[in-house]
Structure formats: C-alpha cells, structure tokens
Chain A
Amino acid sequence: MRVELRGITKCFGSLRANDNISLSVPPSTIEGVLGENGAGKSTLMKILSGFYSPDSGDILLDGKKVKIDAPADAIRQGIGMLHQDPQDFPPLKVIDDFILGKKGGLLPNRKNAARDFRELSSRFDFSIDPETYVDSLTVGERQQLEILRLLWLGARILILDEPTTGISLPQKEKLFATLKKLASEGMTILFVSHKLEDVEALCSRATVLRQGKLIGSMEPPFDTRVLVEMMFGKEVPQEPKTQLQVGTTVLSVKHIDLDGIRIQIKGVNLQVRAGEVIGLAGMEGSGQTLFLSACAGLSQPVGGSFCLDEEEKEMTGRTYHEFRKKGVAYLPAARLEQALIPGLSLTEHFILSEGMRGFFIDRKKSEELAKSRISLFNIKGKPESTVESLSGGNQQRALLALMRDPLKLILVEHPTRGLDIESTIYIWGKLKERCARGTAIVFISSDLDEILKYSDRVLVFFAGKVTPPLDANTLSVERLGRLIGGKDWDTLGTEAAHA
C-alpha cells in the first residue's frame, strides 16, 4: 500500500515539530527515517498512526485521502505502530497485554494466542514467557513484546520507532529477515532509527529530517558520511578509544548470589576501580539489570557481600538511599517511569536532584542552574519544559544532566539508548570526563560496539551465568556475540582478566 504524507505541519506551542513535510512511500518499501534527537521523527510517525492530529496537511493511502483522527482510525486502515517508549500495561500478564486491542469476539482465545505468541517469539529467538507479568520484563523485552504483537495483528503498514535498541545482534538479524519478507509481500514499513548500519542493512530508501523539516532522501548504495551530514548539517568526527589510569578499588563484589523473579545469579566476583568503565553485556533479561540494581542496594542479595571503598565499607543489605549518600548513582532504563517525574519541569527536576537546602525554592538560582545545565548538556528544551514533552533523546540527556557531582560510582542502564550519533559521542565524553576525575562506571548496553568501545573490562551474562571480567581490548565483536548467545563458555577459564 502506498503511503503519502502531504504538507504535514505540527506545532507544539511555538515549536514547529513538523514543518510542511511531504513524503511518499511506495508499497513493498522499507523506508528509513533518520534525524538527530528532536528532529520530529516520532511526531511525524504519531501523526500517521493517529495519535496526533496534524495542524495542516493530508494523509493519502493508495492515492485516496483518509481521515485519521484517532489511533482507532489508523488501526482500521491497517496501520500499526511500535512506539519509542513501550506502550504496554505493566501490571498485566504478557499474554493479556498481547491480546489487548485485538479485534473480534467477546472471549479471547487465550490458548491460540499463547500458541501464536510462542511460535512468533521462537522465530526471533525471543524468550518471553507469556504467563509472566509485563512489569517483570526489561524495557528491551517489552519492546520485543510490542514487535510480536504488531506482527501478530497483521498490519499492512508498519511503523517501527527505534525497534532495535533492545534486541541483540542475532535477534536483530532474524527480525530484519522477517521485515524484508513482509515487505516483499507488499507491506509498507517505516523504520525510524539512529543506527545507520541498521538502516543501511535493511532499508530500500532513507529519508532525513532535521529541525522539523525534510532535508532529503537517499537510495542505496548509502553513503554514511553524506547521511550524517544531512542529519546534523555538519560532519561528526569519531572519537578514538581512550585509556585512562585506574585507581583504587571503589566497589568490591564478593561471591554475590542474587535471586530475581525470573532469574538467579550465583557467585559473582568483581573489583571496580576508580576511573574504570565496566560493560555488562548480554541479551535483555539475562541478569544484568538484576546485578546492576543490586550494586546500588535496589535489590537485595541472598548471599555474598558488597563493599565500598578501600577501607571496605560493608554495604550488604543497605538501601539505595545509603548507597546514594556514599556517592553511588543509579540511572534506570525506563526513563519516564523510574527516573523522571512526568508533569514536572526541567528546573523542578534540578531543584529536586540538587537537594537544595532550606524550605523555600530559590526561583532565580534554580532557573540559572537549569539554564546552565541545559546548555552544558545540549538539551533541546526550555527550563520550564515538562520532561514528557522532550524528545526521547533529550530525556536521556536530562537524566545525565541531573546526576550530582562528584560521584564515586555511576551505575547506568543503556546510557545512550535512543541517542543520535552526535549525542552518543557527547554523552560518553561527559562520562569519560568524570572517569578522569576518578569516578567508576558500570553500564549495561545491548549495543556491542558501545560495550567494546567504551569499557575497559566486560562481564557477559547468559541465562544468569556470568563470565569473569574480560579485557575489552582483546575481545572481538564476534567472540562477544557468541558469548552473548551462550556459545564458547567452556573456553573461558584461561583468559579471564584479573578479577
């Protein structure tokens, strides 16, 4: 089905998120939509899926003008969208979430749905149990659930807003194969992503937005340099990998046993030293999040101990509050649910995180603080913008801008999930600056390049098993990929870097 957008304009207050955008996507096409954070990609996709109504402009399907005022209209036209933030129901069972919204019948056919679900998820090597609850899934798994659901609904036009941030390399290859097959069967797919290599591997055309305007399109063979220049209006140089001097031990993890709702981990040992970056790799839900949250006192170990600093401050069984007082910060992946407060402005967030003294709010001082942080972290937003009105990438920047200084240890889930290339380089520059001043970082990422490029040592998680720390300099992408997939584990003993 041919999808045509004609002269779409959408303003939020004085901001033109989409400015007279016209785009025509022929059937059987996978159209890549590229652009920096805040360029207006999600806004445009939400207009096509009926979530927003455009201020002006038309949507045409197969040349016929259609009226799409609500998502229900779009669904009727066969348009399905994966939203950037998982739009699901945390307290429901996975299978119920899967069924919700499926048309037809008074009684859901749970058995058939569960069978379809299992079949689909094994096709992509996703391992989600339909009988668990959505809130026990990682953000990446919730994205996987949404992808499965949309494929199951059988849309004719599929919009995917950053679908690859939560899945591993082999899973991605399978997903891409399926998308290509669906496209060859006539489906139209719009694929929003920051990963140029994904767009290059998958798309039959790429369109670039910048500051709400359509800059241009490109067909294969893609030239990465040209695409980057279209996205940012300038070239973005790649930073070389840096090696910092490590200092004394900041956190020691001794024989930690953890017992999550879905996964158990036994006997993890790790010494994190000042200035060091440790990457936690693995498929979503292999135990990384459980481990990281335990390092911050957010979940309790059932065996072993945590100590902070050289003087061995025993921290086992302490709360996050106490870890925080000792200079530990935790940045979760579910930005709007766990880390930011929807409804509060950026300024109010800075006031809260700085823990300003006194009873009254010093308006002027906090406004200045907000302004300086916004420019320091290049956030596209105003001090009075509420956090939910920021684009996904800018929410992540805000989160990083909220961290206190100095810190001993930063624990972060997916530090650059959803960030464009320039911001990724920028954010890691900021994090490395902290390392140079003695902060240690432990981070989770499903992006193998990010793991290898920015960590000094790597722990790989697979189904609750954990490798000893591996030296990132001698680890290849292929080998890391195999370890993540559960292969090569028997050869590990010999090459462990000093724990």
Chain B
Amino acid sequence: MNNSALVTSIAGVLAAAAPILFAVIGETISERAGVLNLSMNGMILLSAMGSFAVALATGSVVLGFLMGAAIGALVSLIVAFASLTLLQSQVAVGFVLALLCRDLSYFLGNPIMGKVGPRISQVPIPGLERIPILGTILFRQDVMTYFSFILIVAAWFFVFRTKPGLTLRGVGERPTAAYIRGANVNRLRYLYAAIGGAIAGLAGPIYSLSIKAGWKGTISGLDGIGWIVLSITIFGGWKPFRAAFGAYLFAFLQWLGLVLQPSLPSVPSQVLQVAPFPLMILTLLFVNIGNAEWVDRSLARLPENVRRDIARVLRAMNATPPAALGAPFEKE
C-alpha cells in the first residue's frame, strides 16, 4: 500500500468512527448522571431510519439531523421516566426498548427502503486542507466528522472543567450527597438523559445521511453497533478522551479486518470480521488490570521506584463506573 492510500484510509477511519463517537459521548454523559440507556442499539436504528425519512420528505438534511436528535432524546426520556419516576429497572426498560425500537425502525422504514435521498458531503476546509498528510486526514471530512472532533474536547471540558459538569459527576456518584449540596437530582438526571440521548441520536443520521446513506432495513449493517457503543463507554472509563480512543480503535480494527482479508486467504473472512470484538474485550481487561488484588500483591515485591511508577500508571488507567449508575434516587 502506498502512502497516499494509507492517508486516505486513516481519514476514512476517522469518518467511520464519527457516529460511534457521538453515541459513546452521549451515553457517557447520560451514565455520568446515573442513567444507563441500554436502548442504544434500537435507538440508533430508529433515528437512522427516522432522520432519513424526514430528509427524504423535506429535502433538508438539517431537519433530518434534528429528527435524529429528537428521537434519541425521546427514547432516553422514556428510560428516564420509567426509572426515575416509576422506579422501574433501567436495565429491563432499556433492553425492551432496544428490541422495540429496532423492530419499529424495520417496520416503519419499509416504504422508504432503498430510496435515494439527500446526504451530506465532504467540506474541505480552505487552506488547512492543503497541509501535507494532516490536511487529508483532518480537513477533508464532512461537517459531522468535524463536529465529532469538537465534541470530544467539548464533552471533556464540560465534564471536567465546569461547575455544572462537576455537579453532573456528583449526581451519578453519590446522589444523596449532591442533593445535600443543593442539586435537584432527578431534574438533572432527566436533563442529562435527554442531552446525552440527543447527542447519541445523531449517530443515526450520520449513518443514514452520510457514511451509509439511505435506508436498507435489515441489511443496513447498523444492527449491533449500539451494543458496541455501550461497551466502548465502559472501555472509555466514562472519560471523553478515552472513549474517543476506544471508538477510533474499534473503527481501526474493523478497517484492518477489511484490508487484511485479501492478503490472508487461508483465514476465513468471518474471523477477521469478528476479531475486533474479542480484541476490544482484551483491551478492556488490560486497562482494568490495576483493580485486581493479585496485581497489588505482586507489585509489593518490586523495587521501590519501579513500583511507584507502575502504581501511578495503573491508578491513572483505572476506571470505576459512576457509583450510583442505574440506582434510583429517593430522598427518604
């Protein structure tokens, strides 16, 4: 493979990761507040179908994207309502919604199957696109891919650098303590479930109005993405930059599977298609190794300076979920 092909491929990986990124960051925000939105898989399908339908009918991609966000927010609010107000299990409700939304999207999407509709195209950024290599990788993308870059930084900044972000973390971590400090826990949970859902909902139109333009029902190849999104959220340790790394890693592994296939004829093609999934699990394992007690015990035998460095790295890599994830908040 020559250099320019490699550069184009990297640019392709960044674009392919964009919808996953939106979904993962959205889920991260919602889970930070304590609301686990397990409906992700069905929600992405429904918003992909719905936004394509709207764009097809109105000819406006902007309205399509708005529809995607609205569907995402709506589905998340259903999960939030069932768990925060009706005190039902988030896992059960989310799971049922995942199945319901998927079937709904196939059913309602029948009339628009295979139609050709509007889509967004690449918008090279004048000047910047001319930078060698980087220009092609970063600055000849479509609008949503640009937004995905901004989203990572913006989400990180919000969660870790602003006061509302701090309260958001508190609400998911120890709602009682946050309540004592004056936070309206359930209102904030509704709010962040809706915002996170809207952001995640944009993943749908990024597929159906851009990288996999159109609606092809069961053969869209979108089924399953939502489940990966949920695992990347965990992999990302509820931190935007790490989540982004997870999304890019996954998109890269998928691309690798595609390009390796012709050069490894002896390996069945299914192996390469499935390989990204166990690889993600292995990385997850590696990242969380610092939690294990035996690591602690074996570290004690190392010389002091080495031990300190390793302990620091492990502590930095360590990720624990928001302590109140999935648990309802009642004040008495």
- A interface residues with partner B (beta carbon < 8 Å): 49, 51-52, 70-72, 75, 81, 83, 87-92, 96, 99-103, 105-108, 259, 299-302, 317, 319
Asked whether A52 and B182 contact (CB < 8 A) given A108-B162, A259-B304, the answer is: no
Residue of B nearest to A53 (CB): B332
Given contacts A99-B163, A259-B307, contact A300 B297 (CB under 8 A): yes
Roughly how many angstroms separate A102 CA and B331 CA in the complex, as a whole number?
21
CA distance A70 to B175 in the complex (A): 13
Is the Cβ of A108 less than 8 Å from the Cβ of B166?
Answer: yes
Contact B164 A106 (CB under 8 A): yes
Q: In the complex, how many angstroms separate the beta carbon of B315 from the nearest chain A beta carbon?
A: 8
Least Cβ–Cβ distance between A154 and chain B, in angstroms: 14
A81 touches B180 (CB 8 A): yes
A128 CA to B167 CA, complexed, in Å: 22
- Taking CB atoms, residues of chain B closer than 8 Å to A89 are 169-170, 173-174, 177
Query: How far is B74's CA from A347's CA once the two chains are assembled, in angstroms?
Result: 43
Complex-state Cα separation, A90 to B170, whole angstroms: 10
Which chain A residues border B332 with CB–CB below 8 Å? 52
Question: Any chain A CB within 8 A of the CB of B227?
Answer: no
- Majority SS at the chain B contact face: helix
A residues in contact with B174, CB < 8 Å: 87-90
Cβ of B320 and Cβ of A100 under 8 Å apart?
no
CB within 8 Å of A: which B157-185 residues: 161-164, 166-167, 169-170, 173-174, 176-184
A-B contact pairs, 12 of them (CB 8 A): A52-B332, A71-B179, A72-B182, A72-B183, A72-B184, A75-B182, A88-B174, A89-B169, A89-B173, A300-B297, A302-B304, A317-B300
Chain A residues near B181 (CB-CB < 8 A): 71, 75, 87, 100-101
Which of B166, B178, B180 is within 8 Å of A96, CB to CB? B166
Given A89-B174, A302-B300, A71 contacting B307 (CB threshold 8 A): no
| Nearest CB in chain B: distance from A330 CB, A | 15
**Complex Cα spacing A319 to B181, Å:** 38
Q: Which residue of B lies closest to A52 (CB)?
A: B332
Contact A91 B297 (CB under 8 A): no
- Is A100 touching B297 in the complex (CB atoms < 8 A)? no
In the bound complex, do residue A87 and residue B177 qualify as a contact, i.e. CB atoms below 8 Å apart?
A: yes
Complex: how many Å from CA A227 to CA B293? 49
Contact B164 A100 (CB under 8 A): no
A245 to chain B, nearest CB (A): 37
What separation, in Å, do the CA atoms of A166 and B170 have in the docked complex?
Answer: 24
Across the interface, do B166 and A99 meet the contact criterion of CB distance under 8 Å?
Answer: yes
Which of A75, A100, A300, A302 sits near B170, CB closer than 8 Å?
A100
B34 CB to closest chain A CB, in angstroms?
13
Are B184 and A300 in touch, CB under 8 angstroms?
no
B330 near A: Cβ within 8 Å?
no
Whether A70 pairs with B164 at a CB distance below 8 angstroms is no
How far is B176's CA from A83's CA once the two chains are assembled, in angstroms? 11
CA A301 to CA B174, docked complex, whole Å: 32
Closest chain-B Cβ to A81's Cβ sits at a distance in Å of 7
In angstroms, Cα B296 to Cα A317, docked, is 10
Q: What are the residues of chain B within 8 A of A302 when measuring CB–CB?
A: 300, 304, 307
B180 x A107 contact (CB < 8 A): no
Contacts of B182 in A (CB 8 A): 70-72, 75, 101, 103
Roughly how many angstroms separate A106 CA and B163 CA in the complex, as a whole number? 6
B323 sits at the interface (CB 8 A) = yes
- Measured between beta carbons, the chain A residues less than 8 angstroms from B163 are 99, 102, 105-108
